[in-house]
Amino acid sequence: MTPDATQENRIPVFSYEHRLPRPVWLAYRALRLVLVSSAFVWFWGGAFLLAWTVLPALALVARDPRRACQRVVRAAFRLFHGYMRVLRLIDARFVTELPRTSGPVVFVANHATLVDVTAIMSQLPDVCCVSKSVYASSRLVGRLLALSGFIDAGTSLTERAKSMDVAVQRLAEGSRVLVFPEGSRSPEGSMSEFRRGAFEIACRAKVPVVPLYLRCNPSALRKDQRVWQQPDTVAHLTIEVGEPIDPAEYGFRSRRMRDAVEAQFRARITSAARRDEMVEEAARPERGAG
């Protein structure tokens, strides 16, 4: 057997390698790679076009430029996810009822895949997402992010302090804020430690935190997965909306709140990952024998 991507990577990628004749599988793999790449092209190309045509024009004429741009971007994200769903790349769904639209909250989510941001924002209106500085200062999407209300997390102490002020301000304006408190995508089947910013924002603004529990099975577009290491079947991204958590319960102390919410996430994520593993093991009994 030749070493391939699935072996290089310690964590196996869901593959049809042992279910299909090799030439058929290779052809299928190539097709999948083209489809995945096309989604990337659509995303970056679309973001670039929007950021340099529709959005700046809209920002000039709209009464509320940020929210107007957000609506356009939300429609674009919906289109993007429709595209990926039709091509059987990623099927993103809210498995619980959408949270009621009224009132500012901080959405907190584990970062299961690259496209969970777009999946969440395609469904929830008036959401400002806190994003890494590399994206905010990117030539391709930086402009789009700035126009449509994304908040640059910053890198230095002063920038971070400022980003929290901006988030609190947005909440005061009645918008919602989305934070991935791990600060980056989660490792396979688990979660990095939560940072405190999201909870500090909620405590200062005195608004509830609403957990969004994400699960992507099989895993796709994880941080350690290259473009050619995507699963051979559609990845199901499920988004579960949890009960709102009031910062008053923790005396508006963000550290306590962080610890409690992180524990809640950890319990869910690890038990869900274990369940996925067991299902997968059961599905391929001949793997070890060959």
Binding site for other proteins (CB under 8 A): 156-158, 160-161, 164, 195-197, 200, 253-255
Nearer to other proteins, 206 or 226 (CB): 206
Listed in sequence order, the residues at least 6 apart from 208 whose beta carbon sits closer than 8 Å to its beta carbon are 105, 106, 202, 244, 245, 246, 247
Question: How far from the centroid of its chain's Cα atoms is residue 81's Cα?
Answer: 12
- What is the smallest separation between the CB atom of 157 and other proteins, expressed in angstroms? 6
- What is the smallest separation between the CB atom of 254 and other proteins, expressed in angstroms? 7
Nearer to other proteins, 2 or 156 (CB): 156
- What is the smallest separation between the CB atom of 105 and other proteins, expressed in angstroms? 20
Q: What interhelical angle do 22-52 and 54-61 show, nearest 10?
A: 30
- What is the smallest separation between the CB atom of 190 and other proteins, expressed in angstroms? 21
> CB pairs under 8 A, 24+ apart, for 1-10?
5/226, 5/228, 5/229, 6/229, 9/224, 9/225, 9/229
In the chain, the largest separation of any two C-alpha atoms, in whole Å, equals 66
H or E element, residue 93? strand 90-94
- Taking the C-alpha atoms of residue 15 and residue 99, their distance in angstroms, rounded to an integer, is 35
Peptide bond into 218 cis (omega under 30): yes
Nearer to other proteins, 85 or 195 (CB): 195
Please count the other Cβ atoms lying within 10 Å of the Cβ belonging to residue 19: 11
Nearer to other proteins, 57 or 263 (CB): 263
Nearer to other proteins, 92 or 164 (CB): 164
- What is the smallest separation between the CB atom of 270 and other proteins, expressed in angstroms? 23
- What is the smallest separation between the CB atom of 151 and other proteins, expressed in angstroms? 15
Nearer to other proteins, 213 or 250 (CB): 250
- What is the smallest separation between the CB atom of 195 and other proteins, expressed in angstroms? 7
Radius of gyration over alpha carbons of the chain, in Å? 20
Contact call for residues 129 and 150 (beta carbons, < 8 A): yes
- What is the smallest separation between the CB atom of 164 and other proteins, expressed in angstroms? 8
Nearer to other proteins, 106 or 239 (CB): 106
Contact call for residues 105 and 168 (beta carbons, < 8 A): no
SS3 label, residue 92: strand
Nearer to other proteins, 235 or 261 (CB): 261
Q: Which residues pair with 238 in a beta bridge?
A: 93, 215
Eight-state DSSP code of residue 245: B
